[in-house]
Amino acid sequence: MKKKSTIKGRIILIMTAFALLTATLLSVFSYELISFFQRKTTIQATKFNLQLIANIIEQDLINLSSLAMGCSTNSTANTKLAEYFKAEEPSPWMAIDVFNSMLEASRSNRSTTYARRLIATNNNTLFVQVDNTGNSIPLNIHNLDELPKLDDPAGEQWNAVMQDPFSSTTVIPFAMPIYGNGASNIGTVYLFANVSVITDKLKGYSIPKESRLVLTLGGRHYQITGEKISTEPIHYKEEPYTNDSFSDLGAALSYISDSSGRHLAVSFPVRSGVELTQTLEGYQFAPQANIWLFLMAGVCLLIIAASGIITLYLTRTISLPVEKLKKRMDKIAQGQFYMDKNIEWNSELGDVGRGINRLSQDIVALMENRMAQEKQKQELEYRVLQSQINPHFLYNTLNSIRWMATIQNATGIAEMTTSLSRLLRSIAKNMGKPVPLKDELSLLDDYFLIQKYRYGSSITMDQQVESEDLLEALIPRLTLQPLVENAIFHGIEPKGKGHVQITVAKQGVFDIRITIEDNGVGMDREQIAAALAEEIPDTKGMMEHMGLRSVNERLRLAYGERYGVTLESEVGRYTRTIIMLPFQ
């Protein structure tokens, strides 16, 4: 047997060879270019993020510095401090006045939430403190010497991270001299800033895995981890970054080396003596997906150029056979169902051609089968018309009896004949179509009228409907009659007399509950189970195959398992038949 040559196999072979050639050429020339741009983009993004955070931190540090400077020189608080520190006998009232001035300056500062405490002292026995912690050790002359000393008496300092000497809070201290008249140094002002002045700005700042964020204060380096800054400086060796390709990024680049290895670092100054640094790891410079998109665009251009050649090949192997298949299908649409061997090629399209030929033969067979069914349908319709002659004759005969009874003044016979005629007409109608509840209750009235003439006044029946709209609910035809028949024959007749109560009410929002209750002999549990589980013989009911179990099965099949018939009974007292239907 000749081996089938597949079009798909040839196309895949050509495209695979082309793709391999293109990928090889591009991978040789693109990798270094992509790595270069990825490195540059990563450094630039890190620099931008650090710059944004540094600008926000700088504003808070300026505000805190101005708060300390207000006590240092040229302010109301400074004047009152000078008077208090120079007084020969400083009074408590002077201390209170100085405290209020410092407190007012603190409250008016925009960054006061980061100021843990503000202390002014004459470096001897006098001091005033504004404490925002509320849970620190009281400051007194005995622990005053625990305050950090000024390294440079001439200016401000942000140069360390330390634990607050009087609480467990980690702070950044800031100290300045207090100047009196003639620029004389009369004391020192200390401001302890919470480290949250730095870490609050870093919330939501994503640091890549294995990278580190470092805060530099006065030449000391402190590692930032989450919302904490270490109080112990970390040490590493710093080397300049000499790659001129990134000199235009506006950020300080360097290599830092420690026990974990050598890392590229990006630094950005916050203000004098304060700097943020982030290390970058090698995996961050790996080529990303967006770079490869440009590469794929180039591959697409090459593929488009080659597709012209492939198109010529595909035209001969695919387009022309497809055109022949299309013409064959058009002929089938016009009713020409003959087999065409010319479309059964030795390829996948040949399989399609063979399928089209099989389809045309199946259509011929289907049409022949359809014609046979139509002929059979006509025969069945003729038989149905014939079968309608006998009921029609029976209805005319019952009408003749009714008129004869009326003429002879036999009212009871006339009423029974009328009820029986309506009952038979209802039975002869389509059993599969639901009817309104009011029609089913009307049919029940006709049936009960016939039974009343049989039993006389020994049986009675009453109907109670909760609301008029329930009468329009749909119910399967001849659902209630078999159940009332059971109540009369098996409940009331053995007792001699009784009453049948029919109640229709809404059950919830979407259901209807119909109750048929008699005060007959009742049933025990075994009889209830048998009534729902076993077929009732045809001779025990007026209607064939319409016993209690049959009604229950019809309702479950029509509406689902939650609907149907249930029984409640007590021997010698009552039997209650409950029907659950959807309200539709």
For 19-46, b/e burial (b = at least 16 CB within 10 A) is eeebeeebeeebeeebeebbbeebbbeb
- This prediction has a pTM of 0.47
Can you tell me the distance from the alpha carbon of 96 to that of 89, in angstroms, rounded to the nearest whole number?
15
pLDDT, position 320: 75
Confidence of residue 448 (pLDDT cuts 50, 70, 90): confident
pLDDT exceeds 60 at position 552: yes
Confidence of residue 537 (pLDDT cuts 50, 70, 90): very low
Confidence of residue 122 (pLDDT cuts 50, 70, 90): confident
Can you tell me the distance from the alpha carbon of 63 to that of 107, in angstroms, rounded to the nearest whole number?
12
Highest mean pLDDT among 263-272, 293-302, 414-423, 430-439: 263-272
pLDDT exceeds 70 at position 123: yes
Angle of helix 76-86 relative to helix 92-107, nearest 10 degrees, comes to 160
pLDDT, position 517: 94
Please give the sequence-ordered ranges of beta strands (E in DSSP) within 445-553, or none if there are none: 459-465, 474-475, 498-507, 511-518
pLDDT exceeds 50 at position 388: no
pLDDT, position 545: 35
pLDDT, position 572: 87
pLDDT, position 314: 67
φ/ψ of 115, rounded to 5, equals -85, 105
Can you tell me the distance from the alpha carbon of 102 to that of 70, in angstroms, rounded to the nearest whole number?
8
pLDDT exceeds 60 at position 543: no
289 compared with 76, residue with greater pLDDT: 76
Confidence of residue 18 (pLDDT cuts 50, 70, 90): confident
pLDDT, position 12: 64
Rounded mean pLDDT, 430-446: 81
Which domains occur in the chain, in start order? 7-56+202-284 (no CATH), 60-199 (3.30.450.20), 296-383 (no CATH), 461-582 (3.30.565.10)
Rounded mean pLDDT, 568-573: 90
**DSSP secondary-structure letter at 296?**
H
How far, rounded to the nearest angstrom, does the alpha carbon of residue 329 sit from its chain's CA centroid? 47
Please give the sequence-ordered ranges of beta strands (E in DSSP) within 519-573, or none if there are none: 564-570
Pairing of β 511-518 and β 498-507: antiparallel
Q: In what order do the strands lie in the sheet with 220-225?
A: 228-229, 220-225, 213-217, 274-280, 261-271, 252-258, 237-240
Q: Across the chain, which distance is largest between two alpha carbons, in Å?
A: 144
Confidence of residue 544 (pLDDT cuts 50, 70, 90): very low
The neighbouring-strand residues paired with 579 are: 514, 565
Write the pLDDT tens digit of every residue in 181-229: 877 888 888 888 888 888 888 888 888 888 888 998 888 889 888 888 8
**DSSP secondary-structure letter at 487?**
I
pLDDT exceeds 70 at position 390: no
64 compared with 151, residue with greater pLDDT: 64
Write the pLDDT tens digit of every residue in 398-423: 555 655 566 656 566 666 666 666 66
- Note whether 172 and 217 are within 8 A (CB): yes
pLDDT, position 336: 77
Mean pLDDT of the chain: 78
Question: The tokens of 259 are what?
Answer: 């026990």
Can you tell me the distance from the alpha carbon of 13 to that of 310, in angstroms, rounded to the nearest whole number?
12
> What stretches of 260-319 show up as alpha helix (H) in DSSP?
289-314
Rounded mean pLDDT, 478-496: 87
pLDDT exceeds 60 at position 56: yes
pLDDT, position 330: 82
| Nearest in space to 465 (alpha carbons), one of 516, 514, 517 | 514
pLDDT, position 502: 93
Write the pLDDT tens digit of every residue in 126-147: 888 888 876 777 777 777 777 8
Q: pLDDT above 90 covers what percent of the chain?
A: 7
